[in-house]
């Protein structure tokens, strides 16, 4: 048995995991475990920017953290925990300046200050950016700093399951993808930062690696999933490939038109127009598609031509390249065909249990970034807050860990027994998959994705949600007899896809189950049969866990007190 022992194990090499590792480097013996090289993490796909109330622009001179927090809570349709939103907003200026001091090449105003652009749902130009490659440059910046501080990386190791002793984390079991060897990383502190689960949908902006690995492992270990019904659909993704067309394109002045040349956002958000929150814009586009005012293949136009060549080349060069390479459209000359697609998961591992942000119900286990639900985004995330969340709570959790001190080592006898049981379980699972005579994994995966797309999308209603839950329950049974040869494990990406499917099918079922339970419309969750927000019954976080075969729903209160509840104006 290959066992590696550390003070802290961080699972995930994106911005969240790197920020934790950066803080711990040189102080504790820590390691970053990632199924891809850190620079291939999905954080690098974030285009538009990172929010902070720096007040650098003339039109944003009155901005302040409290206004940022209010916009976050208002945009979340009041499901965000208000203490978390305020903490996020107050830390934002400090974290952006920190990233700048590390060498992050932010775009600049003529004054030399960090440039800021408008984003949907923001009262001021608040989004700091580096062209349209903000996530890319922040990821490289933090990775460079971690290399400088000699952080230990284990790349291409796949998280299979958590190892626990009673309610204490004891480590993780992984597969070395290059050798096929099962490797245990032993630690009494584990941080899950494995990203979102967007690949449960067929149409998604997410990288192929976003399969909910941390969520699946935590869920199987008995930790509840929180608010998974809230799935954000980005309004502007490229037709066909669903590659993200950043909100920054609209922040710079891009306009949306239907096939009749109508700027249709005037019908639903006459003041904010294209810069309304993402859930509003997604529903507006979906309505145009449903009611026959979109183009034949189900898309509308994102028109950047009015910006001119110079501005597009300076501020949106990546968007131009993507449009030209994947759609054959030069946005300097023609509009871009766009449609809504799954983009972000507001829900995740319940991660604020005992007072500290990121702390899960399991002792020693933390969760941050899109893997977690702290909850700063509530029912709808504002653009520019996701990159911010990763680094703010990455820094926070690492400091909580340091302040708490190293955990007392568990009894070696008890740990060895837990490790052996977990190892046997995994080997038995592989043996079972080899001997089964059921469906191929790809068949189950395709049905899962199409079920989510068609029934748990932008618009939702009871019969479709019931069908989705029933279908996913059937797929769970089919998955138990799934057939796959597990003998050759060296760079066996078919086996990795199967392990990913094991996670996705759980989270897909939780998502549909939660959406069926929440009989109201709030943020990104829109029920055509319950079109109003219902604060009396549903101003609560959903918590889903599994009791034997069945999913169980519990709730917990939303943290209020800073901002008065209001109906959103859209």
**Residue 175 and residue 66 in one domain:** yes
Residue 558 lies in a domain: no
Task: Give the model's pLDDT for residue 570.
Answer: 63
pLDDT tens-digit readout, 65-111: 999 999 999 999 999 999 999 999 999 999 999 999 999 999 999 99
Task: Give the model's pLDDT for residue 359.
Answer: 95
pLDDT tens-digit readout, 308-351: 999 999 999 999 999 999 999 999 999 999 999 999 999 999 99
**Residue 385 and residue 464 in one domain:** no
Residue 560 lies in a domain: no
Q: Among 82, 46, 49, 85, which Cα is nearest to 68's?
A: 85
**Residue 176 and residue 261 in one domain:** no
Specify burial of residue 201 (Cβ count, 10 A radius: 0-12, 13-18, 19+): buried
Q: What is the mean pLDDT of the chain?
A: 95
Residue 48 lies in a domain: yes
pLDDT tens-digit readout, 193-209: 999 999 999 999 999 99
For residue 214, the enclosing domain spans: 2-230+344-404
Distance from chain centroid for Cα 340: 16
The residues, ordered by sequence, that sit 6+ positions from 108 with a Cβ below 8 Å of its Cβ are: 114, 115
Confidence class for position 440, pLDDT limits 50, 70, 90: very high
For the entire predicted model, the pTM comes to 0.94
Extract the tokens encoding 227: 């608010």
Angle (CA) 339 377 9, round 5°: 105
Residue 567 lies in a domain: no
Residue 412 lies in a domain: no
Q: What CATH number has the domain bearing residue 456?
A: 1.20.58.100
**Residue 276 and residue 153 in one domain:** no
For 388-493, strand residue ranges (E) read 459-460
**Residue 217 and residue 268 in one domain:** no
**Residue 239 and residue 226 in one domain:** no
278 noted as active-site residue: yes
Extract the tokens encoding 74: 């208002």
Distance from C-alpha of 531 to C-alpha of 217, rounded to nearest angstrom: 34
Higher pLDDT, residue 270 or 537: 537
Catalytic residue among 126, 278, 518, 522: 278
pLDDT tens-digit readout, 216-225: 999 999 999 9
How does DSSP classify residue 299?
Answer: B
Q: What CATH number has the domain bearing residue 22?
A: 3.50.50.60
Residue 410 lies in a domain: no
**Residue 177 and residue 261 in one domain:** no
Confidence class for position 484, pLDDT limits 50, 70, 90: very high
Confidence class for position 355, pLDDT limits 50, 70, 90: confident
Task: Give the model's pLDDT for residue 354.
Answer: 64
**Residue 334 and residue 350 in one domain:** no
pLDDT tens-digit readout, 444-453: 999 999 999 9
Confidence class for position 567, pLDDT limits 50, 70, 90: confident
Span between the terminal Cα atoms of the chain, in Å: 58
**Residue 30 and residue 131 in one domain:** yes
Instruction: Please say if the pLDDT value at position 455 is more than 90.
Output: yes
Q: What's the total number of domains in the chain?
A: 3
């Amino acid at each position: 048995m290959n066992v590696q022992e550390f003070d802290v194990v961080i699972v995930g090499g994106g911005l969240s995991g790197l920020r934790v590792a950066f803080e711990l480097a040189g102080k504790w013996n820590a390691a970053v475990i990632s199924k891809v090289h850190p620079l291939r993490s999905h954080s690098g796909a974030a285009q538009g920017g990172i929010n902070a109330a720096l007040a650098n622009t003339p039109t944003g001179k009155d901005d302040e953290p409290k206004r940022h927090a209010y916009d976050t809570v208002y945009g979340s349709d009041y499901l965000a925990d208000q203490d978390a939103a305020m903490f996020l907003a107050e830390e934002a200026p400090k974290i952006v300046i920190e990233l700048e001091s590390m060498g992050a090449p932010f775009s600049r105003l003529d004054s030399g200050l960090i440039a800021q652009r408008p984003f949907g749902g923001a009262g001021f130009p608040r989004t700091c950016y580096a062209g349209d490659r903000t996530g890319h440059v922040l990821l490289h910046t933090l990775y460079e700093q971690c290399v400088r501080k000699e952080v230990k990386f284990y790349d291409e190791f796949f998280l299979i399951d958590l190892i626990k002793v009673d309610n204490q984390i004891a480590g993780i079991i992984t597969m070395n993808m290059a050798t096929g060897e099962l490797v245990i990383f032993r630690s009494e502190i584990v941080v899950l930062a494995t990203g979102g689960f967007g690949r449960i949908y067929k149409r998604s902006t997410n990288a192929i690696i976003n399969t909910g690995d941390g969520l699946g492992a935590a869920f199987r270990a008995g930790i509840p999933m929180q608010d998974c019904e809230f799935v954000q659909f980005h309004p502007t993704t490229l037709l066909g490939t669903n590659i993200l067309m950043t909100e920054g394109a609209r922040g710079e002045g891009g306009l949306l038109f239907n096939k009749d040349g109508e700027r249709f956002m005037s019908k639903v958000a006459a003041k904010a127009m294209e810069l309304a929150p993402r859930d509003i814009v997604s529903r507006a586009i979906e309505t145009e598609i449903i009611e026959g005012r979109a183009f034949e293949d189900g898309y509308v136009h994102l028109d950047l031509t009015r910006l001119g060549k110079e501005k597009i080349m300076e501020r949106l060069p990546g968007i131009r390249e993507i449009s030209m390479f994947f759609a054959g459209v030069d946005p300097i000359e023609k509009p871009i065909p766009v449609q809504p697609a799954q983009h972000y998961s507001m829900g995740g591992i319940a991660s604020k249990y005992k007072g500290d942000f990121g702390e899960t119900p399991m002792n020693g286990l933390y969760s941050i970034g899109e893997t977690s639900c702290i909850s700063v985004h509530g029912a709808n995330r504002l653009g520019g807050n996701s990159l911010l969340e990763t680094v703010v709570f990455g820094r926070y959790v690492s400091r909580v860990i340091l302040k708490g001190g190293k955990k007392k080592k568990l009894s070696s006898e008890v740990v060895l027994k837990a490790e052996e049981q977990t190892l046997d379980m995994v080997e038995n699972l592989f043996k079972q998959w080899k001997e089964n005579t059921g469906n191929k994994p790809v068949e189950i995966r395709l049905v899962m994705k199409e079920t989510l797309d068609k029934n748990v999308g932008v618009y939702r209603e009871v019969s479709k949600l019931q069908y989705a839950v029933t279908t996913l329950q059937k797929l769970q049974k089919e998955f138990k007899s799934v057939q796959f040869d597990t003998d050759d494990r060296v760079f066996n990406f078919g086996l990795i896809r199967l392990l990913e499917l094991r996670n996705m099918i759980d989270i897909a079922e939780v998502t549909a189950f939660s959406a069926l339970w929440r009989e109201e419309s709030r943020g990104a969750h829109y029920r055509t049969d319950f079109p109003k927000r219902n604060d009396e019954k549903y101003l609560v976080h959903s918590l889903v866990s599994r009791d034997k075969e069945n999913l169980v729903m519990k709730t917990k209160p939303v943290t209020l007190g800073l901002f008065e509840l209001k109906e959103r104006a859209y």
